[in-house]
Structure 1
Amino acid sequence: MTSSAPAGLPGLLTTVVSWVPRLFVLSVTWLVQVLAGAVVLGFAPATAVLADGVARRLADPDAPADLRGGWRTWRAELWSAQLPLGLPALQVVLLAFYLQLTRGSVLAVSVAVLGAVYVVWLAHLPAVYVRRHDGVGAPALWLANLRLMAGGAGAYLLSGVVLLAGGWALVWYAPVAAVAFGPAAAALVAALAVRRVVGRAR
């Protein structure tokens, strides 16, 4: 089997360089779509569009950006993505509230660990959503992601560490890069982990 990209380090560099503009376009589109829905309503459909865009580019690296199609998907997902993706994201606010409430107590450690596990589960949910959301209710989707997380704990844990550590580093040391590349980079890491777990399960 031949590959269009050279092997080894040159191939890796070519892949990374080719993904940089894609990540930028996907991240900026995500941000604009989140704002278009006044943040609260825009987050879920924008995240669905982002996960779909990453999945399409993983399937076909040469696929051009389809901004018009992305907006069509955003409009189609505006209400349908709220329950499966929006509601779990709102739970992060609740966990943050409990963490603040229990700060300084022994319970804070448990809440922090639970919050970290939940954020890792949540980060992979959009990648599972674009694979399975047709005709699948929100509880079944959430359960499917939980099963994948249990079956591929290593892949989820590794990508979760990359997401949490990378996100923290970008926000604190390169906030502009966090905005310009962070959302799409996070979606890419999660999509790769989900693809690995699903591929192993087949």
Structure 2
Amino acid sequence: MTATARPPVRHATPGEWVRKNLFRTPLDTVLTLVLAPLSLYGIFFLARFVFVTGRWEIVRVNLKLLLVGNWPAVHMPRLSVALAVIGFVGGIVAGLVHARQVRLGTASSLTMTRRQRVLDLVRRFGLIFLTVVLLLALTSTAGPTLTAVGVVVAGVLGRLAGGFIGKSRWPKAVVVGLTLRLLATPFLLYAYLTDAVPLERWE
């Protein structure tokens, strides 16, 4: 039995995308003409505040208090480890979900070009990335940057591991064991953190 060839996927040009998503109906056209200038106006003032008029020294001085509260500096590595574990587990879950979608043929990435995949990643994680970069730019030590890099690396490794696990069929006992471990992770992290700093001292 031969596999049925998929018909070639035609991707819309930028002009077609604009007409379809922004000017499809008269109402869409009016909304686009009204909201687009307002959006550009808001982006301009946001950029002006971030790069010109913002009083970032206040944020810089209180950045640690803003991000981690009264968490003792001596136990900061525990927070880094916890964040890395969260990134790894999140990556595993994302990999498992994507592998299942691939098996079912519902993964959107199957019909995407490399450029579209990059744009999709930017759309989903661009704002988070910019926020993290802005916060890291305000720090004066290497710890936060190393933590951020560690979380990203852990997330990528988890994503690869989840994709590998999801592609194969495993005995039911293995699946149940993995599920229980994933569900237990938040409780283990809570115990790991509160062992160093009681909950009432977090604020």
TM-score (norm 2): 0.23
Q: From the CA coordinates, give the structure whose radius of gyration is larger.
A: 2
Q: Give 1 or 2: higher helix fraction.
A: 1
